[in-house]
Amino acid sequence: MTREIQHTVDIDAPPAVVWEQLADTAAYARWNPFVRRLSGKLTAGATLTVTIAPPGGRAMTFKPTVLVSEVDRELRWLGRFLVPGLFDGEHSFRLEELPGGRTRLIQAERFRGLLVGLSRGTLENTRIGFEQMNRALKQRAEAAVARAS
């Protein structure tokens, strides 16, 4: 079974500024309502430690592997629950450059595995967490642009 969730937001900041905020993982605890902690190198093949706190759900920590880390464009990782094929989540942040020095941020996750059908409520909480994080990242990136002006 496969299920995908995503949330998109347009940000009044160029991709480099959005990426700078996204890649400043040490600051997540101060501003990020969904990904409360992210540690590790944002390089392909690296293992991260990620703690998420979906609204209405309980916090959980997992150790995904970075699949893609392309500065100013994309960060993608793969996390697994226990064994491959049980409950796998491929998480991505894609940054698309828009006219006028703006960025479209698409945060998405594709879930695959035997347990995906049992997780409908959890996935809705996760989608709401994406929305909250995207709004917070938008505010942070736009504030960085305003400070630089």
Q: Over the stretch 6-35, which tens digit does the pLDDT of each residue have?
A: 999 999 999 999 999 999 999 999 999 999
Tell me which H or E stretch contains 28.
helix 28-31
| Dist. CA 134–CA 67, nearest whole Å | 21
How is the chain split into domains, by residue range?
A: 2-148
pLDDT digits (tens, 9 = 90+) for 104-121: 999 999 988 765 665 665
- Look at the domain 2-148 and name its fold: Alpha-D-Glucose-1,6-Bisphosphate; Chain A, domain 4 (3.30.530)
Higher local confidence (pLDDT), 67 or 86: 67
* d(C-alpha 130, C-alpha 108), whole Å: 8
Residue 82 has pLDDT above 70, yes or no: no
Q: Which of 18-22, 32-36, 37-41, 55-59 has the lowest mean pLDDT?
A: 55-59
pTM (2 d.p.): 0.91
Question: How far separated are the first and last CA of the chain, in Å rounded?
Answer: 48
